[in-house]
């Protein structure tokens, strides 16, 4: 990636051009570290040149999407030595955002390009499920915890609430993003021992607890509402920032996200309301969906 910035700096000659390059070498795994490259073509400084290049083996299919890009910014394709291909996008004389003049918020509405391996969502979900499957063995301590938490509860809702409350309140939330660690969760035993987890591990632990208690939950990767807009044509787990559990109970579908300790078990965090997700484990595996907003009538009744 190459950006050339032109802006005023104290005690520096007018018209100074600052160039910097960022090289990112990405693996092609679609589960633990999925390949997704995103480049924004506008920022809070004017830029003389923004260039974004992706190099891959010639036989490695790429999915790409351009959003809000200026005319003439279509990718240039080069065949390289060693059986490689390079795609390059360029934009010149890029103006800055000016939030004070009601410009669109950065980066959600900035011109941008996304590139990923050209799988489909079913393939992405299958690869994620292959990583999750071996981690579903709860182990004796987690099994005992699920039995103890649901003992004496006479309704399914009471059982789910007890399991949710433990996962949400008895384990610490760590804000470690998946792209800095892994898109595959830790084992339930490791999560229980650490009594902490991020936006992937805490929901996964509740998912395992629910299975041990006899429920049939589904596991989904979720996008934050404030992330770059979801792009259905670029299948990659890299578009997601966390996870949630889908559970059909009493004639309605619940979205369980036990990351905070102040919400009721059947409330949806604000950052997931209206956000997109992908089911990776359960009957709907491979299906993308948009999370509904909270029911206003139910919320007013609670208030």
Q: Give the pLDDT confidence of 237-263 residue by residue, as tens digits.
A: 999 999 999 999 988 889 999 998 788
Residue 92, pLDDT score: 86
Range from 16-30, 171-185, 282-296 carrying the lowest mean pLDDT: 16-30
Q: Is the pLDDT of residue 14 over 70?
A: no
Count the Cβ atoms, other than its own, within 10 Å of residue 26. 16
162 confidence band (pLDDT: 50, 70, 90) = very high
pTM of the complete model:
0.83
- Tokens (6 digits) for 30: 């679609």
Cα 259 from Cα 168, distance rounded (Å): 6
Cα–Cα distances in angstroms (integers) from residue 103 to residues 94, 96, 129, 244, in the given order: 14, 10, 41, 33
Contact present, 86 and 55 (Cβ < 8 Å): yes
Q: Give the pLDDT confidence of 175-218 residue by residue, as tens digits.
A: 888 888 889 999 999 999 999 999 999 999 999 999 999 999 99
Q: Is the pLDDT of residue 297 over 50?
A: no
Which of 95-109, 157-171, 284-298 shows the highest mean pLDDT? 157-171
Q: Is the pLDDT of residue 80 over 80?
A: yes
Exposure letters 183-220 (e unless 16+ CB within 10 A, then b): bbbbbbbebbeeeebbbbbbbbbbbbbbbbbebebbbb
Residue 30, pLDDT score: 46
Residue 104, pLDDT score: 53
């Amino acid at each position: 990636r190459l950006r050339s910035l032109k802006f005023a700096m104290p005690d520096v000659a007018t018209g100074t051009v600052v160039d910097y390059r960022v090289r990112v070498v990405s693996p092609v795994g679609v589960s633990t570290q999925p390949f997704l490259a995103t480049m924004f073509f506008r920022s809070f400084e004017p830029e003389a040149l923004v260039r974004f290049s992706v190099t891959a083996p010639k036989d490695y299919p790429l999915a790409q999407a351009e959003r809000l890009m200026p005319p003439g910014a279509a990718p240039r394709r080069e065949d390289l030595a060693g059986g490689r291909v390079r795609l390059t996008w360029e934009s010149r004389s890029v103006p800055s955002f000016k939030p004070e003049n009601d410009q669109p918020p950065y980066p959600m509405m900035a011109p941008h390009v996304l590139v990923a391996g050209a799988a489909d969502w079913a393939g992405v979900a299958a690869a994620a499920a292959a990583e999750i499957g071996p981690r579903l063995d709860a182990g004796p301590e987690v099994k005992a915890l699920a039995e103890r938490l649901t003992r004496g509860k006479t309704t399914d809702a009471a059982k789910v609430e007890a399991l949710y409350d433990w996962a949400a309140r008895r384990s610490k939330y760590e804000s470690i993003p998946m792209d800095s660690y892994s898109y595959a969760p830790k084992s339930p035993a490791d999560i229980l021992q650490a009594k902490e987890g991020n936006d992937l591990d805490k929901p996964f632990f509740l998912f395992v607890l629910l299975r041990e208690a006899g429920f049939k939950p589904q596991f989904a990767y979720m996008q934050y509402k404030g992330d770059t807009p979801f792009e259905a044509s670029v299948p990659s787990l890299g578009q997601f920032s966390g996870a949630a559990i889908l559970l059909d109970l009493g004639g309605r579908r619940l979205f369980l996200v036990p990351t905070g300790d102040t919400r009721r078990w059947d409330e949806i965090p604000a950052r997931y309301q209206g956000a997109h997700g992908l089911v990776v484990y359960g009957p709907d595996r491979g299906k993308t969906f948009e999370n509904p907003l909270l029911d206003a009538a139910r919320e007013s009744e609670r208030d």
